[in-house]
Amino acid sequence: MTRLVFEKADAVPLVAEVFRELGFEGASLSRITERTGLGKGSLYHFFPGGKEEMAAAILADIDAWFVRHVFEPLEKGEPRAAIAQMWRSVNTYFRSGRRICLVGAFALDETRDRFAAPIHRYFARWVEALRRALMRAGVEGAAAGQFAEQTVAGIQGALVLARALNKNALFTRALTRLAQRLDAGIPTQP
């Protein structure tokens, strides 16, 4: 009985990858055990609430990553630098289009209703943080809100399209274009 995992925190990303690949309904306990190497015993030890708790922990983990690498920089840092970091972080996180956004995927089917709060919180915070950063960078109010929505939606759409066409170069290319469009909307540094 070798120990593969030492704490819940180690189990979360393993299980997350299975949910990402199979979706919430598609990720059955047996599929999770076979792909992670964790038996049901371990799984229910770490997540007594079963699949629901696993998914909740994963969403919290994703949220924490984005808070640290995207949201807080946008909220607190120098806006231009924070936006530049956002593009790098997003491209890294989604592995240049090879990885999808689990939060977005959950939003599409009835799974959304189980996790409505964290899903809403994640996207709302992202859009709002970006909007405020744009305003601090000198973008006018209404335009900033529209840019922010457009940008976050653009990222999600690029993930869908890249996966549908099985062409992940499309994702990185789309990020570049979105970044250019955003830059073009930001007044030059005074």
Q: Which does 98 bind (CB under 5 to 8 A by kind): a copy of itself, DNA, none?
A: none
CB nearer to a copy of itself: give 84 or 153: 153
Q: Does 161 bind a copy of itself (CB under 8 A)?
A: yes
- CA-angle at 81, arms to 77 and 85, nearest 5°: 100
Long-range contacts of residues 80-84, Cβ cutoff 8 Å, at least 24 apart: 80/137, 80/186, 80/189, 82/133, 83/130, 83/133, 83/134, 83/137, 83/179, 83/182, 83/186
Q: How far is the CB of 16 from DNA (least distance, A)?
A: 15
Q: Does 142 bind a copy of itself (CB under 8 A)?
A: no
Among 93, 153, 183, 186, binds a copy of itself (CB under 8 A): 153
Site string for a copy of itself, 48-87 (x = CB under 8 A): ----------------------------------------
Among 57, 83, 103, 179, binds a copy of itself (CB under 8 A): 103
